[in-house]
Amino acid sequence: MITAPYNFVPLNKEVFYPTWSEQVSHDIPFEDGESGEIGITITAKSPIFIRDHENKEEFCQHNGQYYIPSTSVKGMVRNVLEIMSFSKMRDEIFDDNTYAVRDLSKADNFYMSEMKKPTFGGWLKKVNNNYIIEDCGEVGRIRHEEIDKALNVKFAQYFKGNNFDAKNQKQKSSEYKYNKIGAGLKAITLSEPFKSKTNAKYDNRVFYNYSKDDKNKAILVLTGQPTPRKDTGKMGDGKGYEFLFFDAKGELPVSKEAMENFKFAYFDKRTTEPKESPDWTYWKKKLENGEKVPVFFQKDGATIKHFGLSYLYKLPYSHSIKDGIPKAHFESEDLDLAQTIFGYINKEKKEALKGRVQFSHFKAISNITPMNPRKEILGTPRASYYPIYVQQTDGKLFTTFMDSYFEIAGRKRYPIHNSNQTTKTTITGNDNVGTTFKPLKDEVVFKGKLRYHNLQKAEIGALLSALTFHNTTKTFHNIGMAKSLGYGKIELKLDGVKDINSYLKEFETTLTEQIPNWASSEHLKELVSMATEQKNDGNSKLKYLELPEFAKNKTGNEQDYLRNYTALDNIKSVTVKSLLSDEERKSLISRKEEIAKEREEKARQEIQAKKEKEELEAKIKKENDDFEKALSSNDIHIIKNFIVKYPENEKINELQAIQNTLEEAQKQNKFAKVNQEAQDKWDNIHNADKKFLKSALQNFIKTYENSKKNEGSEFILNLLKQAQAEIKTIK
């Protein structure tokens, strides 16, 4: 049976986009915009703890004044408003990570099926800020007792029976093992390889013993020890072998994606639970110092698919968190209601909108009673645990992040605990995993204000709806640390709001125009049901699973998953009370169709505008390219064609000047050519027989008098005069 102190509001398939979002301005107010402030009194209905930014164990305070920071209240309200307004699951509110899994619960599950594929050993190293793996091929195995023989140590005894403490994280690490054999990596001389003597038909692993003969040599690679070695001769006796890496056969590049997935799987640089893997901490220092790190990997040709620090390492899923979010959340760049009210920042596009809502700090004013320090384990399962974090269906195999289609469970919420009681976590004996904090006792009262500027009536209604769960009685928010244990349950009372229902109705009307079933939607039902006190028992008990239960819930007849909150034992479904009549709702449904047409027309216009913009940009680019081509060309035809094609171009004078220069040069070339031609003919005439001189001179005159080529040529005119003069002298 799966239980959890949290649950999920399923993600909305539709996103509400306010029609006025593009008109929001801090300089030009809406004609019907409203500004004002709302007084808010917060009363803690269970012990409460908000961490101080300097002393992490103390309640947030300044000069002895306890307070709840404005950002904490703003985040709490915005989270509820995003759900109630069907807003987007924005990139900045979830980590789009590719999680990794190590699932040994079944021999035929997706993890074991993948890890049965060929897995190799190699050395990871850093080269000029890139990573490569030296491929050592198939690994060998050697028993702990053989290591003792090879290195003359008592390695095997440390991992048997009572000598090994499985609760001691240091003893489970590879670093602990390396310390037992002495500093540095060790080479071992080996016997000939052999296969399993008990299961040779199905066991393809290759084993070695120690041998003084140095024909076979390999580097001993040690990995973590999850459990003690029992040596009963049965399956599940615990790890009793280590690995052997042989000479490298080549190098394989490690992609940025593969490296990031590897680091994320081992909680790189993580300081909260679960913290960075001790094995990765140990090897990372060596890697950054230029040393090689032993890893195990699978490959596709010459490409590293994934790798890890143990033979059965954490396997990256095929898909990330974002792949499990409905596409509607990313299809439009329009602002949703939460962005419109609270503002947004788009770092990629360098766009931003300042919010029109501000919260003050909420100072503690009465019933202030600090409590004794508490130490609790506040860790939580990672999203890789698919029976909880991925939507499942009864009677079907588990859906995981490996599947081509899946949906994440939704937006995470901590259901309200009944009464003012808090629960305690199980003591593990590991002092490093507990968090110490000093809460304030329940019934402490805080006061503060919400100020708003230039909001539409529907936007004020959205804020009031988020603060009061649409004015639903006996509902509570929760805030601060340890919500999973019942801390931070708070009741809100508002001052300075007249006729709250008129604002709520305006908000509901606006939402219902686009989402007809808004008030009765499962999203609101799950949200509000979690905000009310329930009789949590059976599978609705608000408690973390014990470690053995995580694997148990994924195997055999025990297969189970976390259901929606209202589907759990003893949970009473709570819905918001609609402020609309049936006729008003029908009218809004009709209006939805009109809005859909308006949005369709808007989308069509945006597509057309985008097309026209792209065409204009392409036209401008073509004109600029043609200009550069003409500018760098000495071909007068190219220049003339540009001038004819783009007569309005602002730089056309540059080309016309070049055209004039080229035409003048052409003219001069033509004159020079004609002059040279005339000179050649003149010389030929006088080199010919004298008896043909007169007729030759007459032909010369006829040729150049009737030709326009000699226009403006003083040189040819002079030759013509000489020819006429010479004819007169010939008898």
Q: DSSP letters along 131-152, please?
A: EEEEE--S-EEEEHHHHHHHHT
pLDDT for the residue numbered 494:
97
Q: How far is the C-alpha of 60 from the C-alpha of 719, rounded, in Å?
A: 109
Kindly state the average pLDDT of the residues 311-327: 93
Residue 429 CA from chain centroid, whole number = 36
Q: pLDDT tens for residues 123-166? A: 999 999 899 999 999 999 999 999 999 999 999 988 887 788 88
* pTM passes above 0.85: no
Residue of 272, 268, 186 whose CA lies nearest to 222: 186
Percent of the chain beyond pLDDT 90? 63
Structure tokens that stand for 250 in this block? 């080549």
Q: DSSP letters along 347-375, please?
A: TTTTEEEE-SEEE--EEEEE---B---EE
Kindly state the average pLDDT of the residues 485-490: 97
Given a cut of 90, whether residue 335 has pLDDT beyond it is yes
Strand 357-359 and strand 351-354: pairing?
unpaired
pLDDT for the residue numbered 711:
57
Sign, CA dihedral 706-708-711-714, equals negative
Nearest 10 degrees: Cα torsion 434, 438, 443, 448: -110
Given a cut of 70, whether residue 14 has pLDDT beyond it is yes
pLDDT for the residue numbered 236:
62
Lowest pLDDT segment from 110-124, 288-302, 525-539, 651-665: 651-665
Which amino acid appears at position 464 of this protein?
Answer: L
The counts of H helices and E strands in the chain are 18, 26
pLDDT for the residue numbered 427:
58
Lowest pLDDT segment from 22-36, 257-271, 360-374, 584-598: 584-598
The reply to whether omega before 274 is within 30° of 0 (cis) is yes
Most confident of 17-26, 111-120, 471-480, 545-554: 471-480
pLDDT for the residue numbered 36:
96
Given a cut of 80, whether residue 375 has pLDDT beyond it is yes
Given a cut of 60, whether residue 707 has pLDDT beyond it is yes
pLDDT for the residue numbered 518:
94
Structure tokens that stand for 103 in this block? 């699932």
Phi/psi of residue 258, each to 5°?
-65, -40
Which amino acid appears at position 726 of this protein?
Answer: E
> What confidence tier does 76 reach under pLDDT thresholds 50, 70, 90?
very high
Q: How far is the C-alpha of 575 from the C-alpha of 590, rounded, in Å?
A: 24
Structure tokens that stand for 534 in this block? 């329930």
- Stronger pLDDT, 606 or 528, i.e. the higher one: 528
Q: How far is the C-alpha of 456 from the C-alpha of 337, rounded, in Å?
A: 11
Given a cut of 70, whether residue 63 has pLDDT beyond it is yes
pLDDT for the residue numbered 189:
95
Domain limits, the chain: 7-99+324-580, 103-321, 669-729
Given a cut of 90, whether residue 371 has pLDDT beyond it is yes
Q: How far is the C-alpha of 394 from the C-alpha of 226, rounded, in Å?
A: 33
Structure tokens that stand for 136 in this block? 């050592």
- CA gyration radius, the chain: 41
pLDDT for the residue numbered 97:
82
Longest Cα–Cα distance of the chain, Å, equals 143
Query: Which residue in the block uniquely carries the two structure tokens 């003339």?
Result: 640
Given a cut of 80, whether residue 202 has pLDDT beyond it is no
Residue 49's contacts (CB-CB under 8 Å, 6 or more residues apart) are 59, 437, 438, 439, 440, 480, 481, 482, 487, 488
Given a cut of 80, whether residue 552 has pLDDT beyond it is no
Average per-residue pLDDT for the chain: 90
Most confident of 91-100, 416-425, 454-463, 628-637: 454-463
pLDDT for the residue numbered 349:
77
| C-alpha distances out from residue 614 to 346, 348, 620, 676, Å | 23, 21, 10, 55
Number of residues written out for the chain: 731
pLDDT for the residue numbered 234:
64
